[in-house]
Chain A
Amino acid sequence: MNTGKRRIGVFICHCGGNISDYVDVARVAEAVAEEPGVVVSKNHMFTCSDSAQQEMIDDIREQKLDGLVIASCSPKLHMFTFRGMAERGGINQYQYVHVNLREQCSWAHTNDKTGATEKGIALVRAGIAKAALSTPLTALRVDTTPKVLVIGAGISGLRAALALSDMGLSVFVVENQKEAGGAVKNWGRMGPDNQLGRDIVRKLLDEVNTRENIMLYTDAEMVEKSGYIGDFKVTLRIGGNETVNLQVGAMIVATGFDPYEPKEGEFGYGLDGVVTLPQFRDAADGQEGPLEYNGKPVKNVVFIYCVGSRQKKSAACPAPNAYCSRYCCNAGTHMALCLEDRPGDLNQYHLYRDIRTYGHNETIYEEARNRGAVFMKYADDDAPTVEKTADGLVVKVKDQLLGGEEVEIPADLVILVTGMVPRKNETLMNLLKLPVSKDGFLNEIHIKLRPVETVIDGVFIAGSAQSPKTMAESVGSALAAVSKAGGLLMKGYVDLEPLVAKVNTDKCQWCDACLKACPYGAIERTSCDGKEVALVIQSLCKGEGACVPVCPYGAIDVEGYTDEQITAMIDACSREVVSA
Chain B
Amino acid sequence: MSDKNNLDYDVMVVGAGTAGMEASLSLGDMGYKVLLVEKQPSIGGRTILLSKVFPTLDCASCISTPKMASSAHHPNITLMTYSEVDGITKNADGSFHVNLHKKPTYVDQVTCTGCGQCATACTVPLPDEYNYNMIARRAAHIPFPQAVPKKAVISRGGQAPCMHTCPAGVKPSGFVSLVRAGKYEEGFKLHLADAPLVGSLSRACYAPCEGECTRDEMEGSVNIRAIKRFMVDWYYERHPEPDYGPVENQLDTKVAVIGSGPGGLTAAFHLAKQGHQVTVFEAEAHAGGMLRHGMPAYRMPNELLDRDIKNITALGVEIRTNTRVESIASLKEQGFDAVFTGVGNQNPRIIPITGNNLADVTDCMKFLKETNVGDELPDIEGKDFVVLGGGNVAFDVARAAVRMGTKSVSIVCLEAKDKMPAHGFEVREAEEEGVRLYTGVSSKRIFKGDSGKSILEVLNVASIEFDDKGRTTGFTTAEGTEQQIPADVVVMAVGLSPSTLPFENELELNGNKTIKTDDQTLQTSDPMVFAGGDAVLGPSIICEAMGQGRKAAFYIDRFLKKEPLDVPFDSDLEVADKKAIVACSGKCSCIKPTAIREHEPKKRIQSFEPYEETMTEDEARASANRCLGCGECSQCQECVNACPANCINFNMKTDRMEMTVGSVIVSTGYEILDPAGKELMGYGKYPNVISGPQMDRLLAPTRPYNGVLRPSDGKEPESIAIVLCNGSRDHTVCNPLCCRIGCMYSAKHAQLVMGALPLADVTIYYIDIRAFGKGYDEFYEQSKGMGVQYTKGKVARIEEIEGGNLRVHYEDMEGEGGIQTAEHDMVVLTVGFLPNLESLKLYKGGEVETDPFAYIREPDATAQPGRTNIAGLFAAGTVIGARDIPDTVLHACASSAQAAGYIEKLRKA
Residues of A within 8 A of B (CB): 14-18, 45-46, 48-51, 53-54, 73, 77-78, 80-81, 84-85, 88, 155, 159, 163, 166-168, 190, 192-193, 195, 200, 203-204, 309-310, 322-324, 326, 329, 354-363, 366, 377, 379, 400-401, 403-404, 437-439, 441, 446-449, 451-452, 466-467, 471-473, 475-484, 486-488, 490-491
User: Of residues A16, A50, A81, A324, which shows the largest number of chain B Cβ atoms within 10 Å of its Cβ?
Assistant: A50
Q: Apart from A49-B69, A49-B146, A491-B30, what 6 extra A-B contacts exist at CB < 8 Å?
A: A18-B59, A46-B61, A195-B862, A403-B817, A449-B66, A476-B866
A472 touching B861 by the CB < 8 A rule? yes
With beta carbons under 8 angstroms apart, the residue of B59, B738, B883 that contacts A16 is B59
Q: Nearest chain B CB to A313's CB is how many angstroms away?
A: 11
With beta carbons under 8 angstroms apart, the residue of B770, B851, B897, B900 that contacts A356 is B770
B897 touching A18 by the CB < 8 A rule? no
Bound complex: CA of A231 vs CA of B363, how far in Å? 103
A167 touching B702 by the CB < 8 A rule? no
Q: Nearest chain B CB to A144's CB is how many angstroms away?
A: 12
A159 touching B896 by the CB < 8 A rule? no
Known A51-B150, A193-B861: A359·B883 in contact at CB below 8 Å: yes
Q: Name B769's closest neighbour in chain A (CB-CB).
A: A354
Q: Nearest chain A CB to B350's CB is how many angstroms away?
A: 73
B737 touching A480 by the CB < 8 A rule? no
- Those 10 A-B pairs whose CB atoms lie nearest each other, nearest first: A16-B701, A487-B29, A166-B901, A480-B893, A479-B894, A51-B150, A354-B768, A467-B774, A49-B146, A324-B777
Q: Name A17's closest neighbour in chain B (CB-CB).
A: B701
Residues of B within 8 A of A (CB): 26-27, 29-31, 53, 56, 58-59, 61-63, 65-70, 72-73, 114, 145-150, 700-702, 729, 736-740, 768-778, 781, 792, 813-814, 816-817, 851, 853, 861-866, 881-883, 885-887, 889-891, 893-898, 900-901, 904-905
Bound complex: CA of A362 vs CA of B114, how far in Å? 45
Bound complex: CA of A281 vs CA of B72, how far in Å? 50
Q: Which residues on the A side are within 8 Å of B69 (C-beta)? A: 48-50, 53, 81, 84-85
B147 touching A51 by the CB < 8 A rule? yes
B893 touching A448 by the CB < 8 A rule? no
Q: Which residues on the A side are within 8 Å of B68 (C-beta)? A: 49-50
B900 touching A167 by the CB < 8 A rule? yes
With beta carbons under 8 angstroms apart, the residue of B31, B146, B148, B729 that contacts A490 is B31
Q: Which residues on the B side are within 8 Å of A203 (C-beta)? A: 863
Q: Which residues on the A side are within 8 Å of B893 (C-beta)? A: 451-452, 479-481, 483-484
With beta carbons under 8 angstroms apart, the residue of B59, B145, B814, B905 that contacts A51 is B145
Q: Name B116's closest neighbour in chain A (CB-CB).
A: A51
Known A73-B62, A452-B893, A487-B26: A356·B768 in contact at CB below 8 Å: yes
Q: Which residues on the A side are within 8 Å of B900 (C-beta)? A: 166-167, 483, 486
Bound complex: CA of A490 vs CA of B896, how far in Å? 14
B768 touching A473 by the CB < 8 A rule? no
Q: Which residues on the A side are within 8 Å of B866 (C-beta)? A: 476, 479
With beta carbons under 8 angstroms apart, the residue of A85, A449, A491 that contacts B31 is A491
Bound complex: CA of A193 vs CA of B30, how far in Å? 33
Bound complex: CA of A379 vs CA of B26, how far in Å? 44
Q: Which residues on the A side are within 8 Å of B897 (C-beta)? A: 163, 167, 479-480, 482-483, 486
Bound complex: CA of A51 vs CA of B775, how far in Å? 33
Q: Nearest chain A CB to B520's CB is how many angstroms away?
A: 45
Q: Which residues on the A side are within 8 Å of B72 (C-beta)? A: 50
Q: Nearest chain B CB to A363's CB is how many angstroms away?
A: 6
Q: Nearest chain B CB to A388's CB is how many angstroms away?
A: 30
B61 touching A48 by the CB < 8 A rule? yes
22 A-B pairs in the complex with CB atoms less than 8 angstroms apart: A14-B701, A16-B700, A16-B702, A46-B65, A50-B72, A53-B69, A54-B114, A77-B62, A84-B73, A85-B69, A356-B771, A400-B792, A441-B774, A448-B53, A451-B889, A452-B893, A475-B894, A476-B891, A479-B898, A487-B26, A487-B30, A490-B30
Known A167-B897, A447-B775, A471-B862: A50·B149 in contact at CB below 8 Å: yes
Q: Which residues on the B side are within 8 Å of A362 (C-beta)? A: 729, 736-738
Q: Which residues on the B side are within 8 Å of A475 (C-beta)? A: 862-865, 894
Bound complex: CA of A481 vs CA of B268, how far in Å? 72
A49 touching B778 by the CB < 8 A rule? no
Bound complex: CA of A447 vs CA of B63, how far in Å? 10
A358 touching B740 by the CB < 8 A rule? yes
Q: Which residues on the A side are within 8 Å of B26 (C-beta)? A: 483-484, 486-487
A326 touching B772 by the CB < 8 A rule? yes
User: Of residues A73, A482, A487, which shows the largest number of chain B Cβ atoms within 10 Å of its Cβ?
Assistant: A487
Q: Name B893's closest neighbour in chain A (CB-CB).
A: A480
Q: Nearest chain B CB to A472's CB is how many angstroms away?
A: 5
Q: Nearest chain B CB to A146's CB is how many angstroms away?
A: 12
Known A451-B886, A479-B898, A483-B896: A166·B905 in contact at CB below 8 Å: yes
Q: Which residues on the B side are within 8 Å of A439 (C-beta)? A: 774-775
A476 touching B883 by the CB < 8 A rule? no
Q: Which residues on the A side are within 8 Å of B817 (C-beta)? A: 403
With beta carbons under 8 angstroms apart, the residue of A366, A438, A483, A491 that contacts B736 is A366
A476 touching B865 by the CB < 8 A rule? yes
A45 touching B701 by the CB < 8 A rule? yes
Q: Name A168's closest neighbour in chain B (CB-CB).
A: B904
A354 touching B890 by the CB < 8 A rule? no
Known A45-B145, A483-B897: A473·B740 in contact at CB below 8 Å: no
Q: Which residues on the A side are within 8 Å of B792 (C-beta)? A: 377, 400
With beta carbons under 8 angstroms apart, the residue of B146, B770, B814, B864 that contacts A50 is B146
Q: Name A450's closest neighbour in chain B (CB-CB).
A: B889
Known A159-B863, A479-B893: A447·B736 in contact at CB below 8 Å: no
Known A16-B702, A81-B66, A84-B73: A483·B30 in contact at CB below 8 Å: yes
Bound complex: CA of A377 vs CA of B769, how far in Å? 12
With beta carbons under 8 angstroms apart, the residue of B58, B768, B890 that contacts A451 is B890
Q: Which residues on the A side are within 8 Å of B898 (C-beta)? A: 163, 479
Bound complex: CA of A438 vs CA of B779, how far in Å? 13
User: Of residues A85, A329, A354, A481, which shows the largest number of chain B Cβ atoms within 10 Å of its Cβ?
Assistant: A354
Bound complex: CA of A2 vs CA of B402, how far in Å? 96
With beta carbons under 8 angstroms apart, the residue of B53, B773, B885 that contacts A326 is B773
Q: Name B855's closest neighbour in chain A (CB-CB).
A: A360
Q: Nearest chain A CB to B505's CB is how many angstroms away?
A: 67
A359 touching B740 by the CB < 8 A rule? yes
Known A166-B904, A447-B774, A467-B774: A355·B768 in contact at CB below 8 Å: yes
Q: Which residues on the A side are within 8 Å of B773 (C-beta)? A: 324, 326, 467
A163 touching B901 by the CB < 8 A rule? yes
Q: Which residues on the B side are within 8 Å of A479 (C-beta)? A: 865-866, 893-895, 897-898
Bound complex: CA of A85 vs CA of B65, how far in Å? 13
Q: Which residues on the A side are within 8 Å of B768 (C-beta)? A: 354-356
Q: Which residues on the B side are within 8 Å of A85 (C-beta)? A: 69
Bound complex: CA of A250 vs CA of B241, how far in Å? 80
Q: Name A362's closest neighbour in chain B (CB-CB).
A: B738
B890 touching A476 by the CB < 8 A rule? yes
Known A324-B771, A354-B768, A358-B770: A78·B30 in contact at CB below 8 Å: no
B59 touching A15 by the CB < 8 A rule? yes
With beta carbons under 8 angstroms apart, the residue of A77, A195, A324, A401 that contacts B776 is A324
Known A48-B61, A51-B150, A472-B861: A452·B145 in contact at CB below 8 Å: no
B73 touching A480 by the CB < 8 A rule? no
With beta carbons under 8 angstroms apart, the residue of B737, B777, B885 that contacts A323 is B777
Q: Which residues on the B side are within 8 Å of A88 (C-beta)? A: 73
Q: Nearest chain A CB to B757's CB is how many angstroms away?
A: 14
Q: Name A467's closest neighbour in chain B (CB-CB).
A: B774
